[in-house]
């Protein structure tokens, strides 16, 4: 049996490693690799698919630099390496070339170019009786300025792990964020024609699994594996810059700053429509990538079915069913009041069974009112009693004060209907709920419920905090 358990641990270890990251795990660098061409980002093909211009724009880039001055984070001491690449001018020039909309000209090291032209002119004058002039340099109609304006570290961090009898695994992740601004300036007037900005997240993650246990006397099994991946900052910067170039071209077309080829009119309309949809989505998205897509309701009606689990003076517990109806009235976007009426049965196998009804008043809190999925917390006070009447909500017998609290999740299926699940703790302030007083602890029960939510009174009170 011990050997079987150890083998199961090894299988679990292997499964965790394979399932959590096949690509990184099976592509471990066990030997040197030859030089290769640079990788493309997901935006590079989109740059090449931009509609053709009526005439390419001669563009100069003097300096497109890292303006953050930030160094790489280090846990062991000082680190004088910069967090992002210092060669972003080269990345921008490559993106301009890939777009097919610009004719980039050399301006970052224009002094070297002028010196070389002077050498050529002097050499030609020395070997020819009549000096021949070089053709004039191209001048830029548009100058592109900007740079990397921020590099935010640890915008989101987290992880998870599980270990049972020396066998288990864990994972950790960290997300950083780089932001790029790009503006186009008219050389004749100095007017800023258009400014755009883009951002890109960088993901770093680590996964490990291991086993450490005795399989028999003086026989210890120990094994571990894992991997870590860090998204290259250069690739993230490249993707952000390429996205900025794409946005600059499309917004310039939209504002009539530059024209398109007549044959590419349909392609331009499709590209602009897709870009408009993307901008709308971004206006509904926060800095962590979550979108506000739901208008919070002022009034919610929630019929539900429930399962009740009794814990009391009897040694055994039982699960019984019930149902109820709740109504939430929200005073703000997050906080509201709830009235909850429920009926069901508390029971302990064949020993004890009691139909009960409860009426509660609660304070409700929804943390993410504008999201499709929002956590819900509530706490309150109410009454509970065993009922002997014929109607489901008829309350007879002795009534007891009840304290309760719960948590759950609500999913907005449409703008009118949602699905809510709750797990609640109900604490009657009596030990006689099961007609038996024993010990010094009160009887209590747990209730799990699921049901539909009907949304009433939207948007007139709580407009979406987004641009429409």
SS3 47: helix
Predicted confidence band at 242 (pLDDT cuts at 50, 70, 90)? very high
User: Is pLDDT above 90 for 371?
Assistant: no
Residue 462 confidence (pLDDT): 41
Region 283-297: what's the mean pLDDT? 74
What are the angstrom distances between the C-alpha of 265 and each of 57, 222, 257, 448?
A: 18, 65, 15, 58
Q: Helices 265-283 and 233-254 meet at what angle, rounded to 10?
A: 120
Q: Among candidates 84, 50, 44, which has minimal Cα distance to 67?
A: 84
Annotation: CATH topology of 2-22+42-283: Rossmann fold (3.40.50)
Residue 439 confidence (pLDDT): 56
User: Is pLDDT above 70 for 192?
Assistant: yes
Region 358-375: what's the mean pLDDT? 88
Cα–Cα distance for residue pair 88/460, rounded to 1 Å: 48
Radius of gyration of the chain (CA): 33
Region 69-90: what's the mean pLDDT? 75
Is pTM beyond 0.75? Reply is no
Residue 421 confidence (pLDDT): 94
Q: Kindly report the backbone phi and psi dihedral angles of residue 364, in degrees, each rounded to the nearest multiple of 5, phi listed first.
A: -110, 140
Cα–Cα distance for residue pair 126/132, rounded to 1 Å: 11
Which option is the CATH number for 297-458: 2.40.160.20, 3.90.79.10, 2.30.31.20, 3.90.180.10? 2.40.160.20
Q: Kindly report the backbone phi and psi dihedral angles of residue 363, in degrees, each rounded to the nearest multiple of 5, phi listed first.
A: -105, 125
SS3 284: coil
Region 40-64: what's the mean pLDDT? 91
Residue 216 confidence (pLDDT): 84
* Domain spans, the chain: 2-22+42-283, 297-458
């Amino acid at each position: 049996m011990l050997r079987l358990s150890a083998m199961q641990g090894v299988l679990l270890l292997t499964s965790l490693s394979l399932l959590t990251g096949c690509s990184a795990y099976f592509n471990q660098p066990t030997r040197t690799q030859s030089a290769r061409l640079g990788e493309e980002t997901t935006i590079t093909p989109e740059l090449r698919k931009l509609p053709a211009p009526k005439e390419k724009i001669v563009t100069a880039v003097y300096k497109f630099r890292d303006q953050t001055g930030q160094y790489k984070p280090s846990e062991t001491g000082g680190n004088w390496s910069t967090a992002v690449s210092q060669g972003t001018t080269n990345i921008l020039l490559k993106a301009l070339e890939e777009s097919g909309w610009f004719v980039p000209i050399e301006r970052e090291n224009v002094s070297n170019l002028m010196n070389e032209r002077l050498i050529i002119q002097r050499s030609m004058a020395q070997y020819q009786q009549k000096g021949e002039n070089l053709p004039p340099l191209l001048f830029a109609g548009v100058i592109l300025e900007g740079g990397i304006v921020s590099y935010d570290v640890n915008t989101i961090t987290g992880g998870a792990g599980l270990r049972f009898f020396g066998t288990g695994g864990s994972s950790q992740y960290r997300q950083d964020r780089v932001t790029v601004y790009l503006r186009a300036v008219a050389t004749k007037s100095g007017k800023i024609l258009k400014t755009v900005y883009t951002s890109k997240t960088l993901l770093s993650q680590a996964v490990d699994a291991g086993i450490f246990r005795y399989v028999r006397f003086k026989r210890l099994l120990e094994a571990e594996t894992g991997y870590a991946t860090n998204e290259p900052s250069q690739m993230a910067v490249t993707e952000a810059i390429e996205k900025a170039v794409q946005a600059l071209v499309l917004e310039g077309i939209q504002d009539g700053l530059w024209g398109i080829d007549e044959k590419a009119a349909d392609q331009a309309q499709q590209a602009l429509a897709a870009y408009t949809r993307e901008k709308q989505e971004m206006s509904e998205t926060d800095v962590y990538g979550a979108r506000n897509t739901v208008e919070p309701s002022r009034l919610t009606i929630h019929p539900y079915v429930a399962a009740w689990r009794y814990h009391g003076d009897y040694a055994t517990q039982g699960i019984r069913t019930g149902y109820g109806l709740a109504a939430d009235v929200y005073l703000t976007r997050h906080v509201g009041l709830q009235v909850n009426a429920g009926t069901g049965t508390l029971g302990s196998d064949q020993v004890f069974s009691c139909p009960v009804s409860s009426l509660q008043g609660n304070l409700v809190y929804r943390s993410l009112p504008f999201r499709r999925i929002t956590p819900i917390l509530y706490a309150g006070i109410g009454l509970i009693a065993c009922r002997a009447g014929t109607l489901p909500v008829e309350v007879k017998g002795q009534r007891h004060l009840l304290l309760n609290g719960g948590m759950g999740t609500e999913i907005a299926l449409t703008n009118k209907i949602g699905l809510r699940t709750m797990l609640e703790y109900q604490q009657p302030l009596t030990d006689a709920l099961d007609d038996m007083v024993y010990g010094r602890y009160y009887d209590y029960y747990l209730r799990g419920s699921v049901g539909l939510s009907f949304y009433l009174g939207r948007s007139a009170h709580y407009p979406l905090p987004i641009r429409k």
